[in-house]
Amino acid sequence: MTESARDLARKLLAGNGATPSAASTVTPLGTGAAQRAAAPATSASAPKKRRGPGRQFADHPEVAAAVRKWAAIDALSEQSGMANPLFLPRNSPNDTVIRALDTELLNFSAYNYLGLANHPRVVEAAKRGLDRYGASAAASRIVAGEIPLYGELERRLADIYQVGDAMVTTSGYLTNAGVIGFLLGERDVAICDALIHGSVVSGTQWAGCRRINFRHNDPESLRQVLRMSRSGFDRALVVIEGHYSMDGTVGRVDELAAIAREYDCAVMVDEAHSFGVFGEHGFGMREQLGMAGADVDIWMGTLSKALGSCGGFIAGDADLIRAMKASAPGVAMLTGGPAPSNISAALAGLEVLIEEPQRVARLWDNTRLFNAALRDRGIDLGVSEGTPICPVIVPGEMRAGFVSATLLQRGVYAGAISAPAVPIGKERLRFFVTSEHTEQQLVSTADLLAETIAAAEQIPEHAAAV
């Protein structure tokens, strides 16, 4: 590997596009605000620099850093001739095999757990939604945007969760941000798993509430936080996930929810990576753990992962959902309704899920096979729990970048992740298994990975520690 190729691998990793988890945003401020807070304060009396038309943000620290980073990546990619895996131009659905870089790549980077994003019934339903209702809702639901498809999907989701009602939205990220922003205020607290998704962190910022983290998936840590801090706040919302996307760990949803109840807290569970994956029928953690719908106040999920569409949802108490639909900015109010084709696609995805539970069984057969193949080859899977999210730990930014770039050259696409999205020394490649991968694809990838990781170990220690 040439010097410039190493540099490219490092820079690609530094800009891996992964969403920083709450662990990496421990300050209640977002990273942007945190950086600005760290910048030297300009005195009120200092003359203000004129920035000129169209260039008002050119010297913004994050804009300038991003522009520098992308220029370096473009230059290095050009010099080294290595493909840039970020924003990889793709000319096919996000299936197990994709068309990119004028070739076919075996793909492990899609959240398409059940192959529904390109299932003929889902695609056909999206087209029907387009034909019948047009490309856009063209209004918020409140003012003339309501179409029967919304209610249909919401009824089905509410039934699955055994709760009063549900609401579909345009985005999973906005669902977390908007729901928490709407429900909590200055006198309240969100008590979050340390690895909670950035969208929840955004919600706490919108809300202006306090955020306190407890140790990842640790009931004792939650109990300790609640014992020490619960009495200092009015409302408290405990926010956890069903399946953590950086580590492949499984949320101890029932235990954590029960502790939250002891301390009179509300509970919100993000099922972005667990709906469609856990439970015999893929109905998520409620089904998996045999919970009652009301054990959790807000079941949140996305339409953009296992369901093969785009958007978000929440399910819970009917009055709460009604209030959210009428009044919550960003999820229903002051924003357009979800695109009709997305909702008809999600409905079809849900129908396939209900009619073909064997997809979920196949997903887990493949998951067991791939995890065993990786472990048999001595590959480090961190703290993952044998789920479809397989984090392959390759310590050292340079080594992880080398493995990712080499795999891409040899026809396998899996993203590398480094700090701040994961701790230094825990750099990794993330593989998402789907029900549609074949045994041959999984085993050949495990072989290639073992070979490539062995080669990466030859990269000098000082380079790996960059």
Q: Give me the residue label for tokens 């942007």.
A: 32
DSSP 50: P
Using Cβ positions, the residue closest to ligand PLP within the complex turns out to be: 172
C-alpha distance across the termini of the chain, in Å: 16
Q: Answer yes or no whether residue 270 interacts with ligand PLP by CB under 6 A.
A: yes
Given the rule CB under 6 A, which of 50-58, 70-78, 171-179, 326-334 is the region that contacts ligand PLP? 171-179
* Count of CB atoms situated within 10 Å of the CB of 119: 21
Q: Which is nearer to ligand PLP, 173 or 278 (CB)?
A: 173
| Cβ within 8 Å of residue 394, ≥6 positions away | 380, 400, 403, 416, 427, 428, 429, 453, 456
Instruction: Verify binding: residue 247, ligand PLP, rule CB under 6 A.
Output: no
Kindly tell me which of 173 and 182 has the beta carbon lying closer to ligand PLP: 173
Q: Compute CA distances 416 → 13, 32, 224, 398, 448, whole Å.
A: 6, 23, 35, 10, 16
Q: Which is nearer to ligand PLP, 83 or 272 (CB)?
A: 272
Q: Stretches 65-73, 166-174, 253-261, 339-347: which one binds ligand PLP (CB under 6 A)? A: 166-174
Reading the block at residue 343, the tokens are 């909702």
As a whole number of angstroms, the distance between CA 135 and CA 148 comes to 15
What 3-state class would DSSP assign to 298?
Answer: strand
Binding residues for ligand PLP, how many (CB under 6 A)?
14
Query: Applying CB under 6 A, does 367 fall inside the site for ligand PLP?
Result: no
Neighbour-count burial of 303, counting CB atoms closer than 10 A to its CB (0-12 exposed, 13-18 middle, 19+ buried): buried
Give me the phi and psi of 97, to 5 degrees please: -120, 130
The 293-312 contact track toward ligand PLP, x by CB under 6 A, reads ---------x-x-------x
CB of 22 to ligand PLP, least distance (A): 11
Helix or strand run (H / E) with residue 129: helix 120-133
Q: Choose the stretch contacting ligand PLP; rule: CB under 6 A; options: 118-126, 158-166, 265-273, 346-354.
A: 265-273
Task: State the DSSP H helix or E strand holding residue 212, giving kind and residue range, or none if neither.
Answer: strand 210-214
> Residues 6 or more apart from 243 whose CB is under 8 A from it?
249, 250, 251, 271, 272, 273, 274, 277, 278, 387, 389
Which window, 120-128, 270-278, 283-291, 373-381, contacts ligand PLP (CB under 6 A)? 270-278
Q: Which of 157, 212, 226, 272 binds ligand PLP (CB under 6 A)?
A: 272
Could you say which DSSP state residue 141 is in?
I
Show the site string, 196-225: x = touches ligand PLP by CB under 6 A, - = not. Answer: -x-x--------------------------
Instruction: Report how far residue 293's alpha carbon sits from residue 412's, in angstroms, rounded to the nearest whole number.
Output: 40
The reply to whether 176 sits near ligand PLP by the rule CB under 6 A is yes
Residue closer to ligand PLP by CB (options 272, 422) is 272
Residue 12: CB minimum distance to ligand PLP, A: 20
* Options 35-43, 117-125, 170-178, 406-414: segment touching ligand PLP (CB under 6 A): 170-178
Cβ distance to ligand PLP smaller for residue 245 or 445: 245
What is the C-alpha to C-alpha distance for residues 295 and 315, in angstroms, rounded to an integer?
12
Cβ proximity to ligand PLP, 115 vs 172, nearer residue? 172
Residue 410 three-state SS = coil
- Interacting stretch for ligand PLP, rule CB under 6 A, among 76-84, 102-110, 165-173, 280-288? 165-173
Nearest approach, Cβ of 350 to ligand PLP (angstroms)? 15
Interacting residues with ligand PLP (CB under 6 A) = 171-173, 176, 197, 199, 241, 245, 270, 272-273, 302, 304, 312
